[in-house]
Structure formats: C-alpha cells, structure tokens
Amino acid sequence: MEVHNIIEDVVFAAIRDIYDSLNKEDNPRHICTCNQCRFDTACFVLNRTKPHYVISNRGVVRVEQSSIERQQLEADVTALIYEGMKRVSHNQRPYSSHTEYSPFEPSGAPADTPVFNIPTIVGRLFNGINFEPMTDIVVELYQNGKLVEMKDKNWQNPYTVVRNIEGAYAFWPEPVPAEKENIHRLFEYNLKIEVPGFERLAHVFQIPITSESTLARSYSMNRTFKIQDLYMFLPGDDEE
C-alpha cells in the first residue's frame, strides 16, 4: 500500500519547468539551477503547502474533479517557487558544487527489470438524455477479454461510480514487464458499462507507453491518461 501526497507532483513538475525554462533563456538573473538548489526550493515550497494524500481510485477522482481548486493551487505553488528560488540562490549550501544536474523527479527505487508503467486512467460518464453525471453504476476495464489487474488492492476494478463524484471513475493498472528500456508500445483497453434501461456501452482506447527502468511506486498526477467524456443513451437513441 502506498500513501502519496499529490502536492509533491504539482511542486516537482512546476520546479522542473521553471528551472528548465531559465536554462533555455540563458538564465538572465543568474539563478543557480543545480539539483541541490532545486531540492532546496522544493523543500521551501512543500513546507509552506498543505499536503493532500491519496491511496485509491476515489482519492484520485476527487482530485480530478477539483479543477478550479487545482488551478489556484498551481498559481500559489508557482508564486512560492519564485520566492524560494530567490532565497535559495542567495543562500546556497557551501558544501555543494552547484553544478550537478540530472532529470529532476521525485526519488524512486529502480525496478529489478524494465517495465511499462501504465498511467492512471480517468474519465467521466454522463446520461445522454439529460446530460447529468451517471451515479451508482459499475465501470469495468478489460484487456484481451479479461478484467485488468490493478496496482494494489486500494484500486478497484470493477469500479462503482457514487453520487458525490459526479460521474467520475479511475483505474491504475499494474505495471507490465518489458524486455528493455525505451520500447514503444500501444496498450489497448476496453471500458464496459451496463446500466438497466440504457444501451450497453463499450469504449475501446489505446495508450502509447514507453518502457522505463524505474517502477512507478506511487500515484502521480503527471502520469494520467484522460478518456473523453462518455454518454449513455436509451435503446434506439442515436448519439449526436
């Protein structure tokens, strides 16, 4: 079981983008962009930001539903990053060379073998007649005619859509072993939904994934595949 603070994803992604953009612009303010300063900035921001923990489908769905709150969070995080950058750059750690740089990501233990890390799969389901979110229904994720195994027991498949999450669902399939790194492969999945009084819905989609040497051990907002909004109709109705 993994408990993950999704705020870390927002902070790490924003820091990577901001610092990398400085390097692309020849860093006119001469801000140090080494790994040590990036991690110090991350600590500065995370110590001033309220954590938000998730361990399951439901936690992820609630995060995806709060788009306005996330936009405000990202704005607040960006402001803190710029403040942290200035402080860290003017108070650099004396024992660091401040020259080391490698792709900046949250730490993770390497897997024993290369893997395809399947992203979390999220989407929303609506009534095609009144366009209201569907509730109290079951969504199933299949691959090759079989229910897809989830990353751990906190992620359910089938998944039951409840009333307070506005038709949203989420899955996190378990990783798939790979022969080596940097193999490109299309993974095909099939969503199946049956609701009494509605036509049966089957939605096929593909996710392009490149194998990695590092196993994704916890949920990340940066590893999400969003399915288009889906609609259910009465028998004989045509989707417009």
| Tens digits of residue pLDDT in 136-147 | 899 999 999 999
Check residue 151 and give its pLDDT: 85
Confidence of residue 115 (pLDDT cuts 50, 70, 90): very high
Task: Specify whether 170 is located in the same domain as 58.
Answer: no
Q: Which of 47-61, 188-202, 223-237 has the highest mean pLDDT?
A: 188-202
Highest-scoring range by mean pLDDT, 17-26, 39-48, 185-194: 185-194
Same domain, 163 and 205: yes
Chain center to CA of 179: 25
Task: Please determine, for residue 50, whether its predicted confidence score (pLDDT) is greater than 50.
Answer: yes
Tokens of 35: 């790994």
> 109 or 173: whose pLDDT is higher?
173
Same-domain check for residues 73 and 115: no
Instruction: State in Å, rounded, how far the first CA of the chain is from the last one.
Output: 43
To the question of pTM greater than 0.95 for the whole model, the response is no
- Are 21 and 59 members of one domain? yes
pLDDT higher than threshold 90 for residue 20: no
Q: For all residues of the chain together, what is the average pLDDT? A: 83
pLDDT tens digits for range 163-192? 777 889 999 999 999 999 999 999 999 999
Q: Do residue 79 and residue 139 come from a single domain?
A: no
Q: Is residue 99 part of a domain?
A: no
CATH number of the domain that residue 176 is part of: 2.60.40.10
Mean pLDDT, residues 56-80? 75
Separation of CA 142 from chain center: 20
Give me the pLDDT at residue 108, please.
40
- pLDDT tier, 9 (very low <50, low <70, confident <90, very high otherwise): confident
Report the domain count for the chain: 2
Residues 114, 86 share a domain? no
The pLDDT, as a whole number, for residue 33 is 82
Here the contacts of 86-94 (C-beta below 8 Å, separation 24 or greater) are 86/31, 87/44, 88/32, 88/37, 88/40, 88/41, 88/44, 89/31, 89/32, 89/37, 92/32, 92/36, 92/37, 93/36, 93/40
Describe the crossing of helices 67-90 and 6-24 by its angle, rounded to 10 degrees. 60
Domain span including residue 115? 110-232
The domain boundary, picked from 60, 90, 120, lies at 90
With bands split at pLDDT 50, 70 and 90, how would you rate the model's confidence at 107? very low
| pLDDT recorded at residue 176 | 93
> Pick the residue with more confidence: 217 or 159?
159
Domain annotation covers residue 96: no
Is residue 114 located within the same domain as residue 204? yes
For residues 139-161, give the mean pLDDT.
91
Contact 81, 73 (CB under 8 A): no
Do 144 and 208 lie in a common domain? Answer: yes
Cis peptide leading into 110, omega within 30 of 0? no
Highest mean pLDDT out of 1-5, 17-21, 66-70, 186-190? 186-190
- Whether residue 227 sits in one domain with residue 121: yes
Q: How confident is the model at residue 99 (pLDDT cuts 50, 70, 90)?
A: low
- For the ranges 43-47, 131-135, 150-154, 211-215, which has the lowest average pLDDT? 150-154
DSSP bridge pairs for 153? none
- Amino acid making up residue 156: Q
